[in-house]
Amino acid sequence: MPQVSTPGSIVVLTGAGISKESGLDTFRDHDGLWARVRIEDVATPEGFHRDPGRVQHFYNARRRELSEGGIEPNPAHLALARLERDWPGEVLIVTQNIDDLHERAGTSNLIHMHGELLKIRCERCQRPMRWAADLEVSSLCPDCGRAGVLRPHVVWFGEVPLEMDRILTALDRCSLFVSIGTSGHVYPAAGFVSAVRNGGRARTLELNLEPSNGASLFHDVRTGPASELVPAFVD
Ligand code: BJW
């Protein structure tokens, strides 16, 4: 269990590196997703409206991999669920990941700031709903019944991440901020450590395979695989 001066609250930011050992690709590593597809084509609203079929194909393949590919939470996800259960203060997991491995590990206080792979959203009524294989981009919305565009419930470049007010409040109040498995290239998440340091009170810790882009901003940096570092930190 980590030592902080009071049983204050902990905010944990996670990125693609925490799910790598479960079998999901990261984005910016040499074998990552962005080495195979162009960001402009699949991760921008402009790319989606240019070719919705291509984007749907990209996300459907990742949905099948997540649901049918034998992907399971790894020891890092499980350790964070134990942290939430055992720590006397609040533990909030803010994940940039769109997979469902934190919830399958047992985490309940969780924000998916970049959305959820297994959901879609109607561009008319904006309501997120569970994805189903027979729903096409052009299907009627099962909720509002209008013809519009059913899009992946994910946050693309140029779009505002979800629940930012709640995240910023938690960062402002926390005693410890831990960043796990993220390269520190994508804002606003890459700026969370600075926001915490500017507040002046909380300790900051990075757990990553290698020092991230913003490693020098953390009080403490530990390098190695998340499946080893995270259980060692929690237990
Ligand atoms: C391991 C490991 C192991 C490996 N153990 N570790 C200039 C121009 C245009 C835009 C901008 C600009 N400057 C800033 C912006 C904004 C832009 C941005 O940041 N761009 C930069 C690229 C420059 N950001 C946005 O547009 C965001 N919106 C925004 O800013 O709105 C304005 C606003 C904000 C706040 C309030 C009000 C307004 C939106 C960003 C959306 C990002 N979307 C994606 C796709 C999601 C859907 C999908 O998955 O398809 O999110 S992009 C992709 O990157 C994905 C990830 O969540 C995100 C972060 O990646 P992550 O997790 O860090 O992965 P990697 O691969 O980069 O790193 C993995 C790390 O793990 C590495 O360090 C490895 O070493 C490590 N690792 N194995 C431990 N076993």
**CATH classification at residue 3:** 3.40.50.1220
Q: Which of 49, 114, 153, 185 is catalytic?
A: 114
Judge whether 11 lies within some domain: yes
Judge whether 230 lies within some domain: yes
Number of domains in the chain: 1
pLDDT at 134: 84
Pocket flag, ligand 1, residue 86 (CB < 6 Å): no
Residue 207 C-beta-side C-alpha neighbours within 13 Å: 22
* Nearest-angstrom CA–CA distance, 97 and 94: 9
Distance (angstroms) between ligand 1 centre and the Cα of 134 equals: 30
Residue 1 — very low, low, confident or very high, per pLDDT cuts 50/70/90? Answer: low
The question of whether 114 is a catalytic residue gets the answer yes
Q: Which domain holds residue 198?
A: 1-23+73-114+161-235
CB atoms within 10 A of CB 109: 13
- pLDDT tens digit sequence for 159-185: 999 999 999 999 999 999 999 999 999
Mean predicted confidence (pLDDT) in 123-127: 92
Nearest CA to ligand 1 atom 75: 209
Judge whether 176 lies within some domain: yes
pLDDT at 108: 98
pLDDT at 182: 98
Judge whether 147 lies within some domain: no
Check whether 99 has a pLDDT greater than 90. Answer: yes
Residue indicated by tokens 């237990």? 235
Judge whether 79 lies within some domain: yes
pLDDT at 147: 84
pLDDT at 136: 84
- The two structure tokens encoding residue 27: 């984005």
pLDDT at 143: 87
* Nearest-angstrom CA–CA distance, 43 and 38: 8
Distance (angstroms) between ligand 1 centre and the Cα of 88 equals: 31
Atom of ligand 1 nearest to the CA of 225: 5
- Whether cis (ω within 30° of 0) applies to the bond prior to 161 is no
Provide the β-strand partners of residue 115: 154
Nearest CA to ligand 1 atom 73: 183
**What are the DSSP calls for 169-235, one per residue?**
HHHHH-SEEEEES--S-STTGGGHHHHHHHH-S-EEEEEESS--TTGGGSSEEEES-HHHHHHHHH-
Judge whether 185 lies within some domain: yes
Check whether 121 has a pLDDT greater than 60. Answer: yes
Closest CA to 63 of 139, 1, 135: 135
Please state which of the ranges 42-46, 62-66, 128-132, 139-143 shows the lowest mean pLDDT: 139-143
Which helix (H) or strand (E) element contains residue 110?
strand 110-112
Judge whether 46 lies within some domain: no
Q: Is position 26 annotated in a ligand binding site?
A: yes
Pocket flag, ligand 1, residue 183 (CB < 6 Å): yes
pLDDT at 7: 74
Residue 3 — very low, low, confident or very high, per pLDDT cuts 50/70/90? Answer: low
pTM check: above 0.90: yes
CA angle 178–181–186, rounded 5-degree value: 90
Q: Is position 32 annotated in a ligand binding site?
A: yes
Max alpha carbon distance in the chain (Å)? 55
Judge whether 7 lies within some domain: yes
